[in-house]
Chains A and B, each alone.
Chain A
């Protein structure tokens, strides 16, 4: 077990992992889109997105669409790297 990589606690959580998996596949996505696809509540999603953003895993841009506030999320290089590491660690974990 010496070469076993611990699973990134930031990613090893249901909603944060769902958000990251969604953002890995697209260029950018609006908050409403992510909420719809993950079935999360707005409050919970906001908290998790803040955590991912503070860690530098995603980039959050707040603008306006007409008069409505618009939050757009995008995965960063650091986030992509962390996601790849997480998947690698998961594979090793499953092999054992």
Chain B
């Protein structure tokens, strides 16, 4: 397209429009970093939580979740760095970002409302995580992530029905299917 062409046929015009729109769409696949990073944090914290609660006398096993505070800081720094390096800003990236910021606010409400909801915090977080993963999968049109997000609609009710002490264990299994497996597939597709 080095020479400027002023006399286009309608077919040429249509061809340019379709090609350029397709070019822009090719850039919307988000990286797998966030799902891998949070998948591993959540899985390790869940297993540690379950172990401490089940096999030790430690009074506050949920304290292992404090590990998520540096996790949030790393996430914010990483996304800021990535956004300022990006040469194009897409509507998809924006939607995904706000979906997960919304997730952050939602789980804060759930955590602080803990005693009013019988401390069923973990299954509720799983529901929100599943929904946001499902939406992200739809936005980037990536089936493994859509299926992964949907799997929380199976794991969350299981966690609700079982005694509360098993919630972190179900969470760890849910994270493997909902986050880690789709994220590794995504990474393989978009290294």
Using CB atoms and an 8 Å cutoff, list the residues of chain A in contact with chain B: 7, 12-15, 17-18, 21-22, 24-30, 32-33, 37-41, 44, 48, 65, 87, 90, 93-94
Contacts and interface: CB of A to CB of B under 8 A. Distances in A.
Given A12-B13, A93-B10, A27 B1 contact: no
A48 B4 contact: yes
Query: In which size bucket is the chain B interface?
Result: 20 to 34
A22 B5 contact: no
A4 B6 CA distance: 20
Closest 8 CB pairs of A and B: A21-B20, A25-B24, A33-B87, A14-B5, A30-B87, A27-B89, A29-B88, A21-B17
B118 to A, nearest CB: 42
Interface of B: 1-2, 4-6, 8, 10, 12-14, 16-17, 19-21, 23-25, 27, 84, 87-91, 93-94
28 contacts: A12-B13, A13-B5, A14-B1, A15-B1, A15-B4, A17-B8, A18-B1, A22-B23, A22-B24, A24-B21, A25-B21, A25-B24, A25-B25, A26-B89, A26-B91, A27-B90, A27-B93, A28-B89, A29-B87, A29-B89, A37-B23, A38-B1, A38-B20, A39-B2, A44-B2, A90-B10, A93-B10, A94-B10
